């Protein structure tokens, strides 16, 4: 059986600025927290940094041509805040904005719809020096920056996203410390989560006031597909607690204008949440035009027992948990084949999330803004890169998305993570998520077999039988 996707379905691929652009010190760009973090020994595998990355800043025209050859209808990228507004305050840098203007023009000239994300984790280092996301002012700085980018690109970009995966920014950045800025303070992480929510709301307002009425404002979250190990009340309670910290801490304020009562109770011994001001929730609930869902793998939890196996929540090794106040929760390896990240392959998690938000936010269009897998891809003797596992992964997840559409979910697009191999954060260049292989010594791009396969799906709108 083949599966046809609805007409107008967006077939895209995604990247993020720090992961591909390089040119870290060019044209007025100042360091972001990821420059500082990756240049600090011990933080990133192999000592890798994003200084050069895939050199996309200089090669974007070739990269857009490649996207067109691969039949992509849309491209999700992120705007580097310190390239556009160095230090995160004050006037914009023209050359920084010119890069994104040129990128967008190039995409449009090739019939590819641009979907910029304003924040994919590269906070200007100077804002971190003033306290970073745990401080309220950072949300206001973000809104100012959002307005600057909207003014510059608003005439040619229709669909915008404010933040990418604020969960990672807050809890990996300030909780477990495996991401920049590498702080390990659970209260700072909760404060960061709130100020990211506020940044989303203020940023959405700034976008709206600068953009034409037809523009769509979205956010990309990584809601958890959290499963309980057993149906025991204790395990179900662990699931509830992690669901609150992974998902509802963002979706409840954004969709319903409230923080979950159970989250406030679970974390009461750490914080009184007094940094949430009265008017904040109304701001955060700014109407969304689409919800972006990033999904890779599910999470399995139980209540902790005395002989706990090591925590395996797929978010890197740290003695500090990214889950504030959840020290009585144990994480388990979910069943299924593993990718090179040791993430289990389970497309039912994607289906479940699409159906959950279809029920929770009726009428809100959904976009799968990231999905994909890392494998140990190597060129063969002829230089070709065969990645049948990635094809199988994407196939299975597209089938799950199609099933959700059949069951009533308004899924309007799919963005493969990633267009090309790139700087995979704390894993450096070791993990390859690309449909296009990058040889970092020469910067040569080689479409893997998955890229050819995906191009055919995108061209036809039909998912073939496996």
**Is 219 a binder of ligand FCB (CB under 6 A)?**
no
Q: How far is the CB of 168 from ligand FCB (least distance, A)?
A: 6
Active site residue 106: no
Residue closer to ligand FCB, measured from CB, 165 or 389: 165
> By the 8 A CB rule, do 259 and 273 touch?
yes
Q: Which residue has the tokens 């379905």?
A: 9
Residue closer to ligand FCB, measured from CB, 164 or 412: 164
Residue closer to ligand FCB, measured from CB, 122 or 266: 122
Q: Which residue has the tokens 């709206």?
A: 208
Q: Which long-range contacts (CB under 8 A, 24 or more apart) does 108-112 make?
A: 108/156, 110/64, 110/65, 110/67, 110/68, 111/68, 111/73, 112/64, 112/67, 112/68, 112/72, 112/73, 112/74, 112/75
Tell me: cis bond preceding 181? Omega within 30 of 0 counts.
yes
Footprint (CB under 6 A) of ligand FCB, residues 334-393: 370
- Out of 21, 128, 135, 370, which one is annotated catalytic? 370
**Is 433 a binder of ligand FCB (CB under 6 A)?**
yes
**Side-chain half-sphere exposure of 276, counting CA atoms within 13 A:** 17
- Out of 106, 128, 165, 424, which one is annotated catalytic? 165
**Is 259 a binder of ligand FCB (CB under 6 A)?**
no
By three-state DSSP, how is residue 110 classified? Answer: coil
Residue 277 sits at φ, ψ, to 5 deg, of -85, 160
What residues are paired with 228 via a beta bridge? 301
Residue closer to ligand FCB, measured from CB, 99 or 417: 417
Residue 117 sits at φ, ψ, to 5 deg, of -110, 130
CA distances from 447 to 114, 148, 369, 372, 378 (A): 21, 35, 21, 15, 12
Tokens of 451: 């890229």
Footprint (CB under 6 A) of ligand FCB, residues 159-198: 164-165, 168
Footprint (CB under 6 A) of ligand FCB, residues 287-326: 294
**Is 218 a binder of ligand FCB (CB under 6 A)?**
no
Q: Please choose, out of 96-104, 224-232, 407-415, 417-425, the segment that lies near ligand FCB by the rule CB under 6 A.
A: 417-425
> By the 8 A CB rule, do 261 and 206 touch?
no
DSSP state letter for 98:
H
**Is 417 a binder of ligand FCB (CB under 6 A)?**
yes
> By the 8 A CB rule, do 402 and 355 touch?
no
**Is 424 a binder of ligand FCB (CB under 6 A)?**
yes
Active site residue 370: yes
Q: How far is the CB of 170 from ligand FCB (least distance, A)?
A: 13
Q: How far is the CB of 334 from ligand FCB (least distance, A)?
A: 17
Q: How far is the CB of 89 from ligand FCB (least distance, A)?
A: 26
CA distances from 20 to 109, 136, 301, 332, 428 (A): 22, 30, 34, 32, 12
440 contact partners, CB below 8 Å, separation of at least 6: 52, 54, 429
Q: What is the 3-state secondary structure (H, E, C) of 137-170?
A: HHHHHHHHHHHHHHHHHCCCCCEEEEEECHHHHH
Footprint (CB under 6 A) of ligand FCB, residues 10-39: 16, 19
CA dihedral 461→115→430→46, nearest 10 degrees, is 180
How many residues touch ligand FCB under the rule CB under 6 A: the total is 12
Q: Which positions lie near ligand FCB, rule CB under 6 A?
A: 16, 19, 164-165, 168, 222, 294, 370, 417, 424-425, 433
Question: What are the catalytic residues?
Answer: 165, 370
């Amino acid at each position: 059986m083949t599966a046809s996707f609805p007409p107008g379905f967006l077939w895209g691929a995604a990247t993020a600025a720090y992961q591909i652009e390089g040119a870290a010190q060019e044209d007025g760009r100042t360091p972001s927290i990821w420059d500082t973090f990756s240049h600090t020994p011990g933080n990133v595998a192999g000592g890798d940094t994003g200084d050069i990355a895939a050199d996309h800043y200089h090669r974007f025209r070739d990269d857009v041509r490649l996207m067109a050859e691969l039949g992509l209808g849309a491209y999700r990228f992120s705007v580097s805040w310190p390239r556009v507004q160095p230090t995160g305050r004050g006037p914009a840098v023209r050359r920084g904005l010119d890069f994104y203007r040129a990128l967008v023009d190039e995409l449009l000239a090739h019939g590819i719809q641009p979907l910029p994300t304003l924040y994919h984790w590269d906070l200007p280092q100077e804002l971190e020096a003033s306290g970073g996301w745990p401080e309220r002012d950072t949300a206001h700085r973000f809104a100012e920056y959002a307005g600057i980018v909207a003014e510059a690109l608003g005439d040619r970009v229709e669909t915008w996203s404010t933040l990418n995966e604020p969960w990672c920014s807050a809890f990996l950045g300030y909780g477990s410390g495996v991401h920049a800025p590498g702080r390990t303070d659970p209260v700072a992480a909760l404060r960061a989560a709130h100020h990211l929510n506020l940044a989303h709301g203020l940023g959405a307002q700034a976008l709206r006031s600068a953009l034409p009425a037809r523009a769509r404002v979205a956010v990309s979250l990584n809601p958890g597909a959290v499963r309980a190990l057993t149906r025991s009340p204790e395990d179900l309670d662990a699931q509830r607690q992690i669901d609150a910290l992974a998902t509802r801490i963002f979706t409840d304020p954004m969709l319903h204008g409230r923080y979950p009562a159970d989250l406030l109770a679970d974390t009461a011994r750490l914080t009184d949440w007094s940094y949430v001001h009265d008017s904040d929730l109304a701001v955060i609930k700014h109407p969304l035009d689409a919800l972006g869902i990033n999904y890779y793998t599910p999470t399995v939890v139980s209540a902790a027992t005395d002989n706990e196996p090591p925590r395996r929540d797929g978010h890197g090794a740290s003695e500090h948990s990214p889950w504030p106040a959840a020290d009585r929760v144990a994480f388990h390896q979910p069943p299924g084949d593993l990718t090179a990240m040791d993430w289990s392959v389970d497309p039912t998690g994607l289906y479940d999330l699409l159906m959950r938000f279809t029920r929770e936010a009726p009428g809100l269009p959904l976009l799968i803004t990231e999905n994909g897998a890392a494998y140990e891809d190597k060129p063969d003797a002829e230089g070709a890169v065969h990645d049948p596992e990635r094809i199988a992964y994407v196939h299975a997840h597209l089938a799950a998305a199609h099933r959700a559409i059949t069951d009533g979910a308004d899924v309007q697009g799919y963005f493969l993570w990633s267009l090309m191999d790139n700087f995979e954060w704390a894993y450096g260049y070791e993990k390859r998520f690309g449909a296009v292989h990058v040889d970092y010594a020469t910067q040569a791009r080689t479409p893997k077999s998955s890229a050819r396969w995906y191009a055919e799906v995108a061209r036809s709108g039909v998912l073939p039988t496996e």
